[in-house]
Amino acid sequence: MRIVIIDDSGLRATVLEEGLRDAGYDDIHIVPPRGAFVARLERMAPDVVLMDLGSPSRDTLEEMLTVSRALARPIAMFVDQSDEAMIGAAIDAGVSAYVVDGLRKERVKPVLELAVRRFNAFSRMQTELEEARTALADRKVIDRAKSILMNQRALSEQDAYALLRSTAMNQGKKIAEVAQALITASDLLGGV
């Protein structure tokens, strides 16, 4: 597992690195948050990112949250102090673990594992949500296409669906694709 530590304080980065090495991780890279470090991180393709911000200013926090949005990886953020706005911004940006005043090497492994598990759970939920949205959109398209067939060809709902299904099978397409093509054709021809 490739782990990147974003930190500009050598002492704090050392605590994180020692905690990771003690936990059996060895592909560890420390990246200071300077220059084009976001692009550098993307090229490194880390599996997990640990951000040690100490006492971040609002600008520093915004920069770190840009990292979170760009990478789409599990991210654990360590800070010395926080407020509700900072916590909300971190959560909105997809930070998987937000640890206030908890930078100790024996805590690094459990926090890392938590970040990975929360990230994976959130990713599954996002995938399921996207699949549900797609299914709902497909259902609406299919229902509209059935309505067109029922009106234009005087078919029952069951027969309209059967026609869409058989056409999709014959063309090697999804029913929703055939339904969308029917709707497009109907719209072009001035149909319902």
In the block, which residue shows the tokens 């599954």? Answer: 124
**Topology match between the domains 3-103 and 133-189:** no
Q: How far apart are CA 24 and CA 47, in angstroms?
A: 15
pLDDT band (50, 70, 90) for residue 26: very high
How is the chain split into domains, by residue range? Answer: 3-103, 133-189
CATH number assigned to the domain with residue range 3-103, chosen from the 4 options 3.40.50.2300, 3.40.30.10, 3.40.50.150, 3.40.50.300? 3.40.50.2300
CA quadruple 76, 79, 83, 87: dihedral, nearest 10: -10
Q: What pTM was computed for the model?
A: 0.69
CA quadruple 150, 151, 153, 154: dihedral, nearest 10: 70
pLDDT band (50, 70, 90) for residue 132: very high
Give the whole-number percent of the chain exceeding pLDDT 70. Answer: 93
Burial of residue 90 (CB within 10 Å: 0-12, 13-18, 19+) is buried
Q: How far apart are CA 102 and CA 119, in angstroms?
A: 20
Choice among 13-17, 57-61, 86-90, 92-96 with the minimum mean pLDDT: 57-61
Q: How far apart are CA 87 and CA 20, in angstroms?
A: 24
CATH number assigned to the domain with residue range 133-189, chosen from the 4 options 1.10.10.10, 2.170.130.30, 3.10.150.10, 3.40.50.300? 1.10.10.10
Which residue(s) pair with 97 in the sheet?
Answer: 76
Burial of residue 87 (CB within 10 Å: 0-12, 13-18, 19+) is middle
The tokens for 148 are 């067109």
